[in-house]
């Protein structure tokens, strides 16, 4: 039986990927470069250290990773207030979990300051039984570390956890952790290969409507 739902954050709980792409493009333009859709797709689900290293390598930039991330992060965080939107069905799904005795957790590649901003903007502070961010683990997705740590903090076995993800890197991480994973893609990930997930659903609302089935 499933005892907890673990949520990815970007692209699953919030419609943040267009804002992230915007910030990365603005950063790249400062160096006379551009990030195409193929590169951005490869970045989905990665932590700052992996995504920044990928950008530097693929764009051939001569800049330290910390400096590039600081530029991108300044642009991104400055553009968040008032622009973050929860994905349709997020609040409805979350409301259904406590009555069923299900724990609620987040396991994200986002860094702590950013995650705190998101939770504050969406009024979701203090509503989680466990929350794992990039700084909490050595390896980011597709390694299973964030999900294994979330299960540990919930004091549950991985097999008792159901993960909701939107992208291949996150699905790979969840499956490597030994967890059931449902893919709920967004506009940026809908065309990607999500076949490693146990099932694909069109929305968080659809997941809410199938909760009793998903808990088995």
Residues catalogued as catalytic? 8, 10
- CA 156/CA 208 separation, integer angstroms: 22
Q: Quick one: CA dihedral 69, 129, 45, 177, positive or negative? A: positive
Report phi then psi at 175, rounded to 5.
Answer: -70, -35
- Residue in this structure with the two tokens 């979701």, named with its chain if needed: 124
b/e per residue 192-201 (b: at least 16 CB within 10 A): bebeebeeeb
């Amino acid at each position: 039986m499933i005892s907890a739902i673990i949520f990815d954050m970007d692209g699953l709980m919030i419609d943040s990927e267009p804002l992230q792409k915007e910030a990365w493009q603005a950063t790249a333009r400062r160096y006379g470069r551009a990030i195409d859709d193929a590169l951005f797709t490869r970045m989905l689900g990665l932590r700052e250290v992996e995504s920044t290293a990928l950008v530097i390598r693929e764009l051939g930039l001569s800049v330290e990773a910390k400096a590039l991330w600081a530029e991108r992060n300044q642009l991104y965080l400055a553009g968040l207030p008032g622009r973050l939107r929860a994905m349709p069905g997020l609040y409805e799904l979350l409301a259904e979990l406590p009555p069923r005795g299900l724990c609620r957790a987040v396991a994200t590649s986002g860094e702590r300051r950013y995650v705190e901003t998101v939770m504050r903007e969406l009024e979701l502070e203090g509503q989680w039984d466990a929350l794992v961010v990039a700084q909490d683990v050595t390896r980011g997705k597709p390694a299973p570390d964030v999900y294994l740590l979330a299960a540990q903090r919930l004091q549950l076995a991985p097999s008792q956890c159901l993960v909701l993800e939107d992208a291949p890197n996150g699905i790979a991480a969840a499956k490597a952790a030994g967890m059931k994973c449902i893919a709920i893609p967004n506009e940026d990930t809908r065309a990607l290969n999500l076949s490693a997930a146990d099932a694909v659903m069109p929305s968080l609302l659809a997941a809410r409507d199938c909760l009793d089935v998903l808990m088995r």
